[in-house]
Structure 1
Amino acid sequence: MCSLAADLATLFVAFALANLLVIGKFVGEPAKPHGLVMFAMIAPVYALLAIQAGVYGIRSLAAVRETILRACWAFAQAVMLMLVIVYFGKIAEQLSRLTFVVGVGFSLCGLILLRPVMARLIPRMIGEMPAIAVVIVDSVPFTAPTGTVLLDARVLGIDPVRHDAEMAARLASAVGHAERVIVACPSERINDWSIALKSLEARGEILVPELMRFAPAKLDEYDHHPTLVVAGGPLQYRDRIIKRLFDVLVAGIATLLLSPVLLLTALAVKLTSPGPILFRQQRLGRDARLFSIYKFRTMRSDMTDHAAAQLTQRSDPRVTRVGAFLRRTSIDELPQILNVLKGDMSIVGPRPHAPAARAADKLYWEVDDRYWERHCIKPGITGLAQVRGHRGATNAHQDLIDRLQSDLEYVTNWSVWRDLRIVFATLRVLVHDKAY
């Protein structure tokens, strides 16, 4: 994100400086669009193309020359698209051609010079770079190459046999923001580690020395050891940036448009029952890390269930009269826009659950081994399961399985266009009879 902001600032300065040199003003003549207008036409297109081309990310800091080529190609495409728009829009005569040429030249120089500067500056700004690959050793001998981030599962208290929320959070904390997690373990524990790794956003692999005999059967390798890829990580780095930009844009617009509703709801909650306006509860987020979710308080403050140990029932005595309306209309979920802006949640994704939530008599992860796979992506305010009607209490195991099927379908087939379709589909199901 720092590199993207720096690129856009560079383009802004380049076209503003071109405007100053050619026309003598930053603003330009009233009858002639100036360099800042050209910047406004090129910058958004460049940002999307650069993200798609992989200009940004941890690896780009090490591959400066390759990143320069990708950035220049993305900028050239943005310029060509602008020229097409200018031609078909018949506005060429209104443009200062010299300002355009000088601005493009300054921009290319700026983008080229910025890459090595950012490669040096970003590590100094954020400190030690997160490890791209982390190796977890579980009860087997393993000699790692120099510089490897090596973790001992026993020392860290990570036991993949325990498929609970605490163990998932401990694993996520240990690997940090690694993009690749490799596990060396006994063959009898491969299945347990396979389940555990699926909860991570990172790509998960398991070292399988036995595959050395079957060279054609290798799926990947780490330091010349064959690995079995058991978790792919649903989003590439550029996809995460696109999804984050989508989240911030939609959350920002929603905050402006819904501010009257938010204020009136806050006032109604405060005046009709004693206690705080917002309800905070620990939920499982991306990588099964715990975060505090925000909702408008809908229960009496002395009966609030922070652990979600008891499912809400129809005509639940804990729910206030205003709270029942807020739940039925989904207005109680609106404060989660703050969670999106903070980065804990997305606009669209699997709904976050409390660690103690149950389907009938079992905890969620005890019902289906695939449960942790839904945590490899940020949870959302809305999701595919919700627009399909899979919401409300999970009184039976099938209630959880139905929404889990939709969550896993979303995770494996993500696209920003699907997010947009789900947002519009959500508008049709805001009011529903399964919320109580």
Structure 2
Amino acid sequence: MRPGPPAEAVTQNRRNAAFSGFALAASARAAEFAAVLLLGLALRQGLAPGGDVAPVLVVPFVAVAFSLFARASGAYSLAILRKPFQGWLRAAFTWAGAALATLALGVILGAEGLSREWFGVWTATGLPALFFIRLGAALAAFLLARRGKLDRYVVIVGGGRPAEDLLRALSEPPLPDTRILGLFDDRGDDRTPDVVAGYPKLGTIDDLIGFARNVRVDQILFALPVHAETRILDILRRLWVLPTDIRLAAHANRLRFRPRAYSFLGEAPLFDLLDKPMSEAAIATKAAFDRVVGLAVALLFAPVMLAVAAGVKLTSPGPVLFRQERFGFNNERITIYKFRSLHLDRCDLEASRLVTRDDPRVTPFGRFIRRTSLDELPQLFNVLKGDLSLVGPRPHAPGAKAADCEYEKVVDGYFARHRVKPGVTGWAQVKGWRGETDTFEKIQRRVDHDLDYIENWSIWLDLAILALTPFALARSPNAY
């Protein structure tokens, strides 16, 4: 679904990819840890050479302690990273505290062989090192903010006086790195004029779904009365398929709760209705896991992929790889790679007809690689590109059908499975829901497992699914 005409102008100017504040904080933390660790080891080599192992043991201990204490003190919050001197003072006090605590512990335990000259020089030289890292982090934050990479994009659902009050609360004073794009509301009367508090009405709730598919929307705020339960639930039912935080503004609610009952955007209190499936930290962890493990698996299976490529080339005319468009994260279209298993003149780019048992379109060698899932190995390159994850809901082709009916028409909330990045393998596949979808039940059960995976994701679940995948491939009667 595309956004309506009122939203098109905003769409064209809001395709800016985000840079996670978590990624910036993690980079600063890693740089500081590496700096104090390497500086300590280098000074040990210069000032305390020989076979003395005490400095070698102390350096990583102090570096880890500093990193943990600095994080606990809030030294890596985005607000602190953007202020180099304030951030450096916080890091410097933490560094000095970790160093002095270690030195005191060494004295109490009677540690011998620990050069106090070396330790003092290390503590002193660590301070300018931390300052330059903080300066670099602040400069990076400034450049990213200038390019809009740290912006959070917000849209308002609702209109009239509640929306006007909320917009004024968010705009006076303006919130840093927060961009309000406009409003969406189904009501067409004067309760929702074309402009509210200087912000345009961009369309209806259905337009918002299309809008969020084409524009990065980080948060949706409901400017609706708390007592409008039926309307809130109806809109939630339509919007829950989006990978976006959804909040209900509580500024107009006369019933007041303790502050911890709210989250806040600026000074505006909010009730949390729905969260993104994964936090920034989880997304970064999963992305790093995918790249590291994906590269290792690709190198491990490189000989197998070469053998399969030769088999495809020698057994049927045409290219080795088959490229097909699939649904990716947030319904974006991605191109995935597979070893070609069908005759060249019978390839179905739209996947309008799924492969069935004894399908004449499949080559003899293609039948083998499909049965063993060897045809999926090139998708490791999609993982390294960032289009796919190792584990996630399997990407479906836009034209895929169950019993001659498109998937989204069979399963209510089908597109909610696209709130996370699709995967090479997934929870549905290891639970036996793989292969042909010739009945409504099969696609319903597959989507149910996909949604269960999204709601219960952890890195341990990914590891379990990867471990179960070879066993699931060995007993896949529905894979043709």
TM-score (structure 1 length as normaliser): 0.77
**1:150 corresponds to which of 163, 178, 181:** 181
Matches within 5 A, 1:200-279: 200-207=242-249, 212-216=253-257, 229-279=272-322
Question: Is residue 82–residue 137 contact of structure 2 (8 Å, CA) maintained in 1?
Answer: no
User: How far apart are residue 40 of structure 1 and its match?
Assistant: 8.2
> CA contact under 8 A between 2:222 and 2:249: conserved in structure 1?
yes
Partner AA of 1:118 in structure 2: A
Kindly indicate whether residue 392 of structure 2 is the aligned counterpart of residue 349 of structure 1.
yes
Partner of 1:149: helix, strand, or coil? strand
Q: Which amino acid in structure 2 is aligned with residue 151 of structure 1?
A: G
Q: Aligned AA for 1:387?
A: V
- Cα shift at 1:329: 0.8
1:70-85 maps to which residues of 2 (within 5 A)? none
Measure how far apart 1:388 and its partner are: 0.9
Cα pair 1:283 1:355 within 8 Å, conserved: yes
1:243-290 per-position Cα deviation (integer Å, ceiling 9, x unaligned)? 122112211211221111122122222222222222222222222222
Distance, in Å, in 2 between the alignment partners of 1:281 and 1:384 is 22
**CA-to-aligned-CA distance 1:349-387 (integer Å, 9 cap, x gap):** 111222222222432222233323222221111121111
In the TM superposition, what whole-angstrom CA distance separates every residue of 1:105-155 from its partner, at most 9, and x where no partner exists? 655653454234312224415722342241245665733233442235588
Identity %: 34
Partner secondary structure for residue 172 of structure 1:
helix
Partner of 2:194: none
Of residues 126, 151, 170, the one that matches 1:131 is 151
C-alpha distance in structure 2 between counterparts of 1:337 and 1:400, whole Å: 25
Q: Which has the larger radius of gyration?
A: 2
Amino acid at match of 2:253: M
Contact 1:296 1:332 in 2 (8 A): yes
**Residue aligning to 2:45:** 23
Aligned to 2:221: 182
Distance 2:247 2:413 in 1: 17
1:322-354 deviation line (CA, Å, top 9, x unaligned) = 221111111111112112212222111111222
**CA offsets, 1:31-80, max 9 Å, x none?**
67799998889989998999999876866645775798589979999999
Aligned residue number for residue 120 of structure 1: 139
* Kept after mapping to 1: 8 A contact 2:433/2:442: yes
Which digits, 9 at most, give the CA deviation of each residue in 1:142-189, with x for residues without a partner?
Answer: 332334422355889765448xxxx8564132235x2x2225579676
Give the conservation status (yes or no) of the 8 Å contact 2:425–2:469: yes
> For 1:30 and 1:224, how far apart are their aligned partners in 2?
59
Q: 2:478 corresponds to which residue?
A: 434
For the structure 1 residues 7 and 199, does the alpha-carbon distance in structure 2 shift closer, same or farther, using more than 3 Å as the test?
same
| Cα 1:302/1:80, change in 2 over 3 Å | farther
Distance 1:52 1:349 in 2: 32
Question: Contact between 1:383 and 1:407, CA under 8 Å: does it hold in 2?
Answer: yes
Q: TM-score, structure 2 length as denominator?
A: 0.71
- Alpha-carbon separation, structure 2, partners of 1:52 and 1:383: 35
Q: Does structure 2 conserve the Cα–Cα contact (< 8 Å) formed by 1:297 and 1:323?
A: yes
- Matched with 2:240 is 198
Task: Provide the residue aligned with 2:326 in structure 1.
Answer: 283
Q: Secondary structure at the match of 1:393?
A: coil
Residues 169 and 290, structure 1, Cα contact 8 Å, conserved in 2? no
| Alignment match, 1:413 | 456
Amino acid in the other structure paired with 2:134:
R
- Aligned to 2:408, the other structure's residue is in SS state helix
1:430 match: secondary structure: helix
User: 3-state DSSP class of the match of 2:242?
Assistant: coil
State the shift of 1:240 in Å: 1.6
Once residues 379 and 330 of structure 1 are traced to their aligned partners in structure 2, the CA distance between those partners, rounded to angstroms, is: 17
Give the root-mean-square deviation of aligned CA atoms. Answer: 4.4
Q: Secondary structure at the match of 2:450?
A: helix
Contact 2:243 2:420 in 1 (8 A): yes
Give ranges in structure 1 of 5+ residues lacking alignment.
85-91
- Inter-partner Cα distance in structure 1 for 2:314 and 2:73: 52
How has the CA–CA distance of structure 1 residues 328 and 245 changed in structure 2, closer, same or farther, with 3 Å as cutoff?
same
Distance 1:79 1:282 in 2: 59
User: How has the CA–CA distance of structure 1 residues 183 and 75 changed in structure 2, closer, same or farther, with 3 Å as cutoff?
Assistant: farther
Residue 20 of structure 2 corresponds to which residue in structure 1?
A: none
Q: 1:351 to 1:39 in 2, by over 3 A?
A: farther
User: d(CA) in 2 for partners of 1:75 and 1:415?
Assistant: 36
CA gap of 1:42–1:14, structure 2 versus 1, over 3 A, is closer
